Structure 1
Amino acid sequence: MKKKPHILIFNPDQMRADSLHHLGNEASLTPNMDELTNEGVSFNNAFCQNPVCTPSRCSFMSGWYPHVRGHRTMHYMMQNDEPVLLKILKDNGYHVWWGGKNDLISADKDITPYCDEKFIPTDFDPAKVESDHSWQDSFRGEYKGKNYYSFYAGKSNIDDSSFIKHDWAYVNALVDKIKNYKEDKPLCMYLPLLYPHPPYAVEEPFYSMIDRSKMNLVESFDDWSLKPSILKGIYERQRLHEFTPEDFRELKATYLAMCLRVDYQFGLIVNALKNAGIYDDTAIFIFSDHGDFTGDYGLVEKTQNTFEDCLTNVPLIIKPPKGIEVKPRITDALAELLDIPATVAEIAGITLEYNHYGKSLLQVLRGEDKHKDYVFCEGGRIDGEPQCMELGHKETSLYWPRLSVQASSGPEHKKAVMIRNKKYKYVYRLEEHDEFYDLEKDPYELENIIYDKAYKDIINTFKERVLKFMVETADYVPAQKERRR
């Protein structure tokens, strides 16, 4: 029986694809991830299936689109009867080590079916990392001033907050795990980091290493009338219209410095794998759950039902273990994060015994540059779904600008579905204008041309494909039959 490879799933949070230097960002510094393209494949057209954390993670751990089982909210996680890649690997002989964030399994559920080890640091409480109000108050400035909702903290000391310490604890723990791993079982290492999720804060030397003069700034919309109304609502509440271009450059540079720190930490793990003699036998997957506005359009953070490329286009780099054919390169092939379970399963020699919507990426690794004709992303809610609104955030919350708009009774947080290929993007929206963009002419999606008659036939083709997509993936029928009599 062929020995199963080790698997590393390195999963930064809220990292844009264009934060990678090798994908063309001259301001970015990601040398370790760049180097991995000499042995693996980087996808510059990889897309998440929902632009916020929990729905995206439920999707890439199951191979299901968020709507299949209602995973459209931050507070509905994977259920006991649903497939999770970590559990599948554990059930098939892997020793699963999980460090870092959760946002996948409810905190009141037993996590042991999903992993053999869940590392918990002892020097801070992980549950309180993102709600460190004393630290937040130190950088936000006056109430509702221009920086109050910007998430910008800038240069920080490592001891300023557990938010800054968070990832180091997990990275160091994984390095120790690799160094001391002696079991016969193949090792699955799942490391969902917190960075570069805002607040935008990072310590030296990373903070000063980014060249501010190389920042690419995407200006706000001249006309909001054909844009999703949630964007204008967030723009008005976040108050970043008071930011200068220098402010935006500094914010974006801090974000890229956070990405640089993530890349450095990835390098530490690679060195540990090499020192332990298991690097060649390890399949490495690097991908993020979704992206971040990072000042584009005068916005920060993300939304739950808009699909700009800065939110939906994510890093995806795969290095297979030895013995699996690979043509190292950057590929234009369209890929979705829900392709991850099928790809991991094929590499590990595991059969996924349930219906899923992913497609293994191994053929792309071998050299094909065609994978899917379209990719999809979705989000939002209908009326009468308060469980999707994320209620309870007061105006003092960093997230109030977005969540206050999300909880409105208007069209701002209604359901929407994105379909995209390499040339065009179409978004079907409930109760608002649909969207259509010619990405070759308008790569930043500044002008919605949904009513341009010159594109009528193309738009109709995309509409029909959305209908086919929703019918094909509308639900999931369990494989287990129940007795009728």
Structure 2
Amino acid sequence: MDRRPDIIIFNPDQMRADALGHLGNPAAITPNLDRFAQRDAVSFRNAFCQNPVCVPSRCSFATGLYPHVRGHRTMQYLLREGEPSLFSELKDAGYYVWMNARNDLVAGQIPGLLEQHASEIFYGGDAPAAPGPEQPDPRGKPGDKNYYSFYRGKLKKDRDGRNYSSDDEAVDGAAKRILSFHSDRPLCLFLGLMAPHPPYAVEDPYFSAVDRTKLPPRARVLPKAGKPPMEERLREYMALGRYTERDWTELRACYLGMCIKVDEQFQKICDALKAAGRYDNAAIFFFSDHGDYTGDFDLPEKAQNTFENCLTNVPLLIKPPKGVPVDPGVTESVAELVDFYATAMDFAQVSSSHDSFGKSLRTILADRSIQIKQYAFCEGGRMPYERQCDEYHAYGGDPSDRTREYWPRQQAQLDSDAHEKGTMICDGHYKYVLRTGGRDEFYNLKEDTKEERNQIDRLEYRPIAEKMRSAMLLWYQSTCDLVPRNYDKRFSDEMIWHRVKNICPPQHEQAVKEKIKEGAAFMEVIAFCRSLGGR
């Protein structure tokens, strides 16, 4: 039998779909990914994450479950004991699972838990610290325009002409493992990067490579546009009103420069697979956990309960292993990151230990015109009574400490009205967002590509919005929970014995107790007693 395929997962953090050249951004420079999509892989234009921040998204795509199923919808509730992931399941099925220590998935306070999900963990931290920004003190003082912008700009280089980051170290560690892996076991390699997550900072040649004149227009802040109040709170606390269009241009170009470096790092992994003779039989996945505002709506970074495409539409490129038909290029088919789990398990020929909600994308890879689902869903925010954002939370530190760069986001999330729970449904053409506070949203993505104005009150869209609202209800009903496969006994051994002892022949008492101890059900024990001559 042919060796099971290697499963290679390259996972940048906070990368928008439109950071890729082949998806239409004239300023993007991603030649390796563009060539990968043209020759070997299928790129999904309409791929969506299931939560617009890191931890909930990762807990979702690694399990095939939506964030609401087990409550994994905050930055501080990760997978715990008894919750398998793709990685633990592949490991149990005989895969050698390598991952770097970019966690955001498994609860760190439980000793040994991360090791249940991996055969080898690359911690790194052995390289000297990379040089910082060329501009001294790029944040400035409180009140300066860059204080909360996350912008650092061009990075310095070391004496070797590099800015060797923790991502570079992890990429080199992954490439080394690929080249030195000579086991008969199939390899699962999960490489999670920090880039292009802010702060926005990158060295040359990447910083200067982006043609600023080619950047497409940003999404504008329009008066009375019906946008979510979270964005208004973020703008209020970040106080970026002094940011000029030139400032936003530099921030956006820097972000795309970071994506150029990610593109080169991805190619380094592909080159290692080819040198090791493992490329053809590898299933290769490239996708991000969520996107980034990058200046849209006058905002940097992200928010946990807003759902514009800049945050929810992510790159998803898949190359199947040899023997699996592929129709390379861009597909318009709707996909979700929960589908990654189903697809990887399909290629690995491993049955899941739990029910999940994604669909294998294998048929779309063979024919890009196929549609296997109508809608994608994303969810975020919280209920007013939840305290996940009070006091200390994932961004760390004292909420009253205004020197922290995440202070504005933390303050905005303390506002339960702004941080209200919301759920998005999107078919690639229309998008509807249901909110607990009643401030729903609706967008026609073909007419309003940047989602600048909420159209929920337009009468002509009301039937479509109602149809999507009904579809969301059916989705919630079908995904609201799952029944564990390890069923429980209703009676303890002692309970069963006391229920059957009156019908058990005295001379067979020990045999009946052994039967109970072996795990026989109550009715099985009764039948056994009667087969021994009991009443």
| Alignment TM class, shorter chain as reference | over 0.9
CA spacing shift, 1:134–1:424, aligned 2, 3 Å: closer
Q: CA deviation at 1:58?
A: 0.2
Any unmatched runs of 5+ in structure 1?
Answer: none
Q: In the alignment, is residue 21 of structure 1 matched against residue 21 of structure 2?
A: yes
The corresponding residue for 2:154 is 155
* Paired residues of 1:228 and 1:432 also in contact (CA < 8 A): no
Partner SS for 1:57: helix
The corresponding residue for 1:52 is 53
Aligned pairs (5 A) from 1:130-209? 138-158=137-157, 165-209=165-209
* Paired residues of 1:97 and 1:190 also in contact (CA < 8 A): yes
Q: Which runs of 4+ in 1 moved over 2 A?
A: 122-126, 132-138, 387-394
The corresponding residue for 1:271 is 271
Partner SS for 1:331: strand
The corresponding residue for 1:97 is 98
Q: CA deviation at 1:303?
A: 0.3
Q: In the alignment, is residue 438 of structure 1 matched against residue 444 of structure 2?
A: yes
Residue 413 of structure 1 aligns with an amino acid whose one-letter code is H
Partner SS for 2:79: coil
The corresponding residue for 1:108 is 109
Out of 384, 387, 407, the residue aligned to residue 400 of structure 1 is 407
CA distance in 1, matches of 2:157, 2:433: 42
* Paired residues of 1:57 and 1:103 also in contact (CA < 8 A): yes
Q: In the alignment, is residue 117 of structure 1 matched against residue 120 of structure 2?
A: yes
Residue 147 of structure 2 aligns with an amino acid whose one-letter code is Y
Q: CA deviation at 1:239?
A: 2.1
* Paired residues of 1:53 and 1:103 also in contact (CA < 8 A): yes
Q: CA deviation at 1:23?
A: 0.6
Residue 330 of structure 1 aligns with an amino acid whose one-letter code is V
The corresponding residue for 1:461 is 467
Residue 4 of structure 1 aligns with an amino acid whose one-letter code is R
Aligned pairs (5 A) from 1:377-456? 377-389=378-390, 391=393, 392-393=398-399, 394-408=401-415, 410-456=416-462
Partner SS for 1:169: helix
Which shows bigger deviation, 389-398 or 100-109? 389-398
Q: CA deviation at 1:69?
A: 0.4
CA distance in 1, matches of 2:99, 2:60: 18
1:242-285 Cα offsets, whole Å, 9 max, x none, are 11111111110000000000000111111111111111111100
The corresponding residue for 1:326 is 326
Q: CA deviation at 1:125?
A: 10
CA distance in 2, matches of 1:4, 1:242: 56
CA distance in 2, matches of 1:419, 1:223: 25
Q: CA deviation at 1:371?
A: 2.0
Residue 147 of structure 1 aligns with an amino acid whose one-letter code is N
* Paired residues of 1:293 and 1:301 also in contact (CA < 8 A): yes
1:127-146 Cα offsets, whole Å, 9 max, x none, are xx9xx999998210121211
CA spacing shift, 1:310–1:139, aligned 2, 3 Å: same
The corresponding residue for 1:475 is 481
1:157-186 Cα offsets, whole Å, 9 max, x none, are 2569x9961101101111111111111111
Partner SS for 1:178: helix
Partner SS for 1:418: strand
Q: CA deviation at 1:353?
A: 3.0
Residue 429 of structure 1 aligns with an amino acid whose one-letter code is R
CA distance in 2, matches of 1:58, 1:136: 37
The corresponding residue for 1:33 is 33
Among the aligned pairs, what percent are the same residue?
Answer: 46
Q: CA deviation at 1:345?
A: 0.9
Which shows bigger deviation, 70-79 or 460-469? 460-469
* Paired residues of 2:134 and 2:156 also in contact (CA < 8 A): no
* Paired residues of 1:72 and 1:388 also in contact (CA < 8 A): no
CA spacing shift, 1:249–1:432, aligned 2, 3 Å: same
CA distance in 2, matches of 1:133, 1:36: 32
Q: CA deviation at 1:39?
A: 0.9
1:59-90 Cα offsets, whole Å, 9 max, x none, are 00000000000011000001211120010110
The corresponding residue for 2:338 is 338
* Paired residues of 2:155 and 2:163 also in contact (CA < 8 A): no
Which shows bigger deviation, 387-396 or 366-375? 387-396
Residue 461 of structure 2 aligns with an amino acid whose one-letter code is Y
CA spacing shift, 1:274–1:134, aligned 2, 3 Å: closer
Which shows bigger deviation, 320-329 or 309-318? 320-329
Residue 216 of structure 2 aligns with an amino acid whose one-letter code is N
CA spacing shift, 1:149–1:460, aligned 2, 3 Å: same
What's the C-alpha RMSD, in Å, of the aligned pairs? Answer: 2.1
Any unmatched runs of 5+ in structure 2?
Answer: 492-535
Which shows bigger deviation, 93-102 or 288-297? 93-102
The corresponding residue for 2:528 is none
The one of the two structures with greater contact order (alpha-carbon pairs below 8 A, sep at least 6) is: 1
1:216-236 Cα offsets, whole Å, 9 max, x none, are 231432225621111001012
The corresponding residue for 2:247 is 247
* Paired residues of 2:52 and 2:302 also in contact (CA < 8 A): yes
* Paired residues of 1:74 and 1:388 also in contact (CA < 8 A): no
* Paired residues of 1:164 and 1:201 also in contact (CA < 8 A): no
Q: In the alignment, is residue 229 of structure 1 matched against residue 229 of structure 2?
A: yes
CA spacing shift, 1:205–1:152, aligned 2, 3 Å: same
CA distance in 2, matches of 1:383, 1:31: 46
